[in-house]
Structure 1
Amino acid sequence: MFTFNSVTELNTYANDVLSADPRTSSLAVTGEISNLTIYRSSGHAYFTLKDESSQISCVMFKNYLASLSFVPKDGMKVILTGTCSIYSANGKFQIKAFAMRQVGKGDLAQQMKELHRKLSSEGLFAQEHKLPIPVLPSRIGVISSPAGAVIHDIINTLNRRNPNYSLLLYPASVQGETCAAEVISGIDHFCGRDDIDVIIIARGGGSPEDLWGFNDENLARKIYDCRIPVISAVGHETDYTICDYVADLRAPTPTAAAELVIGKYDELLSNLANKKSMLNLALMNYAEIQRRRLDALKDSKALYSPMVYVEQMRSSLDSVRKDLANSGRLLISEQRHQLKSIIDGIEMLGPMNVLKRGYSYASAEGKAVTSVKGLKVGDGLDVVFSDGSISVEVKDIYEGES
């Protein structure tokens, strides 16, 4: 038998055993939260995790609690991740929790993520496909539950902002298995009419399970194909569904949808008055510009004495004609001078001019003689000068001497 010297030693040993066991040192367990207490001073959460027959104490420290994407509540079913330990001070067996996930939420989130990726790749969320919301819709179609507060909030907001509207409600279940099918029927109903300018799909906030009907693929495709602009007003501001992404406009709440679907009456009147003033000012400016142009035309001599204008044009034409003639004569003179210079240069290089400078050339039998080679004593030569020629006979030949 092993003897522990103190209770502290025993509790420490038990805690070390739990820490060394791979099954209790890192675990995940499913249960229901109860007796939840979050202390303001420390920010730590203490609660019990239970099932039908057992329970265990749990603690989640402030830094881990702050990383959760939801607020834990009593009765919430969760999957807890952590490690088992013994609290030495009182020997209490507990779980130190590091993470927490709502049961079903992770699966639903993954399904929504996959559907979002699929529809996005097909272009169902493309901005260029979205229809503009009319500024002043004559009739608004609303698909929502007739029993909830949502439809009353929409009507009250519309009445407060602009009483000049008409609203038609299509009653539909906004959660549960029939939700998507009933909303699709509502869209078909409104598309079958010719007096609906915009459709609002609305419901209040709720859990992801409550809003799951608005993540239906068939509903998303129906909204995408709808010829009438659709505003999605599902849940609270932090709630996002596939319906929000594919709709032509997302409103964070049903009340916000009522504010977006139609302008405030006073603001519309003010904007209209401003545009009217801008239009009047533009018309006045245009009229003033045209008046000044007319005054300039009235003062023009061409208007009351067209011959003056004709004479001015004729004078200008004569001046241009004279300039052209002068330019032509100058150009011809310059070209003639250039041509004469070229001819003089050619003549200077001509054989007759060379002969005039005291040179002569000899030929024999009509061929020029350029060398003494090939000649012999007694050959006859013709010597040509600038003013005539003579016939001579070769008496002597001196090669290489001048």
Structure 2
Amino acid sequence: MSDRPVSEQAVSVAGLTQYIQSLLELDPQLRQIWVVGEVSSANNHRSGLFFTLQDPEGTASIRCVVWNSHRNRLVQVPLKGEQVMVLGSVGLYPKRGEYQLKVWQVFPGGEGLQALRYRQLRSRLEAEGLFDPLRKRPLPAHPQTLAVVTSPQAAAWGDLQASLSDRYPGLQVLLSPATVQGERAPEEIVRAIARVEADGRAEVLIVTRGGGASEDLACFNDERVVRAIAACSIPTISGIGHQRDETLSDEVADACAHTPTAIAKLAVPEWRQLYKEHRDRLGRLSETARRQLDREGDRLDRARSRLQRLPLDRQLHLQQRDLARQQQRLLAATRRQLDRREQHCASLRDRLASLDPHRVLQRGYALVRTPGGAIVRSPADLCPGEEVVVEFDRGRMTVKIMDLLDE
């Protein structure tokens, strides 16, 4: 080991970068190499075409660039989801300390495995109706509590909080943390959604993360995440990546936006607009009340003016005529009430008469009583030799019981 101090042995970042760059660029195998992979993302830039090649299983990726000086010589322009074979050299981008493949030529290699899997999954979910616009639910107009599924370290979380607070101060925002890229992300996102459901306070669920390469957003195309969003009972907003990014989570959510400001605009109204609308309603209500008050005041003035123009005897005559009409209505109502009461009394008299026992005797029946006056209701109440009184409509007689006959 050297006896020099550590500070003297240390190299600068630029020195280390130049050393690694020289190793890569001077390696004869890396100066001209063929690479096969699937295009996971592609973006045009004024200086060239930037794209990412990914292993079919998604276990490795490399950034690639085709400078404008070589674009017109390409056999095929790399497009997202295609399998391609490229020829180029490995170099290093010093500003980011990243190695990249400087591509000279691109040849077609068919549809990529990742793109094929994505297309098959999307077709299956679409056939199940998960992307049907009719199943999308409306968002509540004035939610008081929102839940956000994202990484607490993500810039999107801070930006979204600021946008929500600016639009709707006092809103309660719950964070259900999850990793939003990598192999563990799908399982964590599903658990985070389940936590929000179990909590039960949120009226809107936001699933979000910032932009990135297509491979970084792959977890939002995972079937587990898509089905968790579809099964969620809370209206959901998906905010994944930038405008150019499109994931299956965006398609299955009830609403979709790609910036914190746009997400906040979907989720909550702006308090300034609400205050303006409230002031406008108060103004309209006040104006309507004032116009109604003016109309009623005009009617009162006109009635007062008419009364003032009428002579006093004319006013008395009108009041007397009105009193006479009311007296007639009162007498008629009293007469009708009296008639109804008389009819009711007559009905009661008829019913009472029908219950009179003498009416029964007049039809030929007789009433049997004991000498004490009790009514005999059954032969079992009598004994042979006993005397009873038989009462008719006109008169009565005493009878001695000789014998009791069986029924």
Rg: which structure is higher? 1
